[in-house]
Chain A
Amino acid sequence: MENVVYEKKDLYYPVMSDILSVETLTAMEKRFQIAMPENQPLNHKPGQFVEVSLFGFGEAPISICSSPTRSPNFELTVRATGRLTDKMHMLEAGSRLGIRGPFGHGFDVDVFKGKDVLFVAGGIGLAPLKSLIDYTLDKREDFNKVKIIYGTKNPAEILFPKAIEEWRQKDDVEFDMTVDRADKSWKGNVGVITTIIPPLQLDVENTVVAVCGPPVMYRFVLMALKAKRIPDDNIYISLERRMKCGVGKCGHCQINDVYVCQDGPVFHYPHVKSLEEAI
């Protein structure tokens, strides 16, 4: 192996970065604004993720929820679900955390250019999609129609109410959402996200769809899109798997022969359709 040419890389050292601000979004989710040393841009693509590192608590893969058009700083939206994410929720502006990445394969934005774009977000899946949504809105003239649909369990879990209000106001964005269970104040749609797909007016051949949500959502959303006659070729989905390294080494994120941390998390749907373990 002495004559093989490769450049050895230190893959596991985080870059210590500053938390600029922390915003409480819901009872479960907070948004963190983060700056790399010397305000270096992260140079990410929408759909990519970082490994967040907190000493004593390990690392967790978290999607970048801000658009690269709004660099140099970037944002993460984190749901408190366990050791690391609970600890992260205790951090305040001025704290530091470790960042490795950006990792993975994001959305191929060029494919979306000139097309109608449909975003389908379920639950915390809106966070990873927000990166691409903001990118699309910042370069609005590059895209044709923009439609966003969003489903969440109940009104209290709505992630980005301010952004949603802006999207509702915009003439060049169509926004619709639904909740699984309404409360007294809720006036909008009630039902799972697949109930707001059938009424959509779509130029199906010319529409590219980006889907992100909890694992259970995909099968049903994909069925609903199929019923709308959207070609599989026009669908991109972002998948979540357990991850330990983010760099294609630990084996945890494998779906059949695919490494989600390298080949994904964003996949062209025809690519994963054939994979038994994918959806």
Chain B
Amino acid sequence: MNQKLNNINEMKCQFLDENATYDFLKFLKGRSKVFAPHRKGEASYIYDEVSDVKDVVLQYPRTIQPLKKYFLPPRETLLSFNIDENNFTESEINVEPRIFFGIHAYEMEGVMRLDYTFEQGQPESNYLTRREQSTFIGISYEPDEYHFSKSLGIDIDSVDGFSLYFKKTDNGYYVYEIDAAGQQLMKEFGKGKRVDIPVTKEEPEFTNKIKYHYNRLPQIFEHVYDSKVWEEVAERCVGCGTCNLLCPTCYCFDVRDEVEINATEGKRERFWDGCMLNPFAEVAGNENFREKLSSRTRHRLYRKFKYITNKSGELHCVGCGRCSKYCPADISITKIINNLIDDYADRQQKQVI
């Protein structure tokens, strides 16, 4: 899967300096709605619709919420009802062309994992309709102490899913045309300077790493279901669910009927939900099938590295680092995985002796 820039011999490339990059954003805005990273407070970033291109941040570590909010909104009306008349009206989902600019490779991979989720089994029209008419333009970034996507096979320059890819260079960007739509955009924009330098620069290092190659992770997860690591993590976890809500590949939801004050009209709405939250697996009779934080943490990790992977063949963690950066208890997913690996290796060793 992972197309890397260096592997694409025929890749067309142009240079845009920083000003031209903002001109390009203006050009995009002239065509459709554009969504891009914006500053939120001191050192936080969010995706937002671009109104003034000057507000767009080109270099940022990660946004707080992942891109999934545009395709699986945090709150979404499934239908509207009238209690007195006992009937409902369907929700119309209107999509228009949207361009998502300044997207990191792990984020794009996250969207593609969600695509899998909503296409397989019963293909869900709500998500799939919102997902249509989307164009993604990627950008390179400097990994911080939380990113570890490279350990999962996603390079900074992985370009799958993008139409264009902006690679930072001195005082500007090399812009790679990944697909026909991207090529068309650059042609119409017309201000790029053709260059034909192959990418030679080494990717910056990721300091945050998983000890084993990602191909081995599903196998590790065969053997760590009863590891002591789950209890160790659970001792600190407060069960707030932040790690679920901010994860680009988590998609579980709750559905609730919200009735208006007139007690007649209302909406059936779905909300992001998380398997780390206590009532998630509760049923009648106060039975809870995943009551302990250790079993909930395990479920979260198994969802990323085994359960869906067994079916889709892909890991469902993309290494964005959000769950670790925003965890109030400072729980790091890479530490959990590395501890699991150690525990596994320890036990293997004992078996040999």
The answer on A and B forming one complex is yes
Which A residues are within 8 Å of any B CB, using their own CB? 1, 4, 6-14, 16, 55-59, 79, 81-82, 95-96, 98, 214-216, 240-242, 244-245, 247-252, 254-257, 262, 276-277
> If the complex has contacts A13-B79, A55-B81, A57-B257, are A251 and B284 also in contact, measured as CB distance less than 8 A?
no
Q: Which of B25-33, B183-191, B248-256, B339-347 contacts A (4 or more CB under 8 A)?
A: B248-256
Q: Is the CB of B310 within 8 A of A244?
A: no
CA distance A268 to B280 in the complex (A): 25
CA distance A12 to B77 in the complex (A): 11
Q: Is the CB of B131 within 8 A of A58?
A: no
B84 → A minimal CB distance (Å): 10
Which of B129, B266, B275, B307 is within 8 Å of A56, CB to CB?
B266
Which B residues are within 8 Å of any A CB, using their own CB? 78-79, 81-83, 86-88, 90, 112, 115, 117-119, 121-126, 128-129, 131, 225, 251-257, 259, 266, 268, 270, 273, 275, 280-285, 287, 289-290, 295, 299, 302, 306-308, 310-311
B339 → A minimal CB distance (Å): 20
Q: Is the CB of A58 within 8 A of B257?
A: yes
**Extra A-B contacts (10), CB below 8 Å, given A1-B119, A251-B273, A252-B273:** A4-B115, A10-B125, A13-B79, A13-B90, A55-B81, A56-B83, A248-B122, A249-B121, A249-B253, A257-B302
B293 → A minimal CB distance (Å): 14
Q: Is the CB of B287 within 8 A of A277?
A: no
Residue in B closest to A249 when the chains form the complex, CB atoms: B124
In the bound complex, residues from chain A placing their C-beta under 8 Å from that of B290 are: 277
Going nearest first, the 3 A-B pairs with the smallest beta carbon separation are: A251-B252, A257-B307, A55-B81
CA distance A248 to B87 in the complex (A): 25
> If the complex has contacts A1-B131, A16-B87, are A8 and B124 also in contact, measured as CB distance less than 8 A?
yes
> If the complex has contacts A55-B266, A58-B268, are A215 and B119 also in contact, measured as CB distance less than 8 A?
no
CA distance A257 to B225 in the complex (A): 13
30 A–B contacts from the bound complex (CB under 8 Å): A6-B119, A9-B123, A11-B124, A12-B79, A12-B268, A13-B90, A14-B88, A16-B86, A55-B81, A56-B81, A56-B257, A59-B255, A79-B284, A81-B284, A95-B86, A98-B88, A215-B287, A240-B283, A241-B289, A248-B122, A249-B117, A249-B122, A249-B253, A250-B273, A251-B252, A252-B280, A255-B289, A257-B307, A257-B308, A257-B310
B37 → A minimal CB distance (Å): 23
In the bound complex, residues from chain A placing their C-beta under 8 Å from that of B280 are: 242, 252
In the bound complex, residues from chain A placing their C-beta under 8 Å from that of B281 are: 241-242, 252, 254
In the bound complex, residues from chain B placing their C-beta under 8 Å from that of A250 are: 252-255, 270, 273
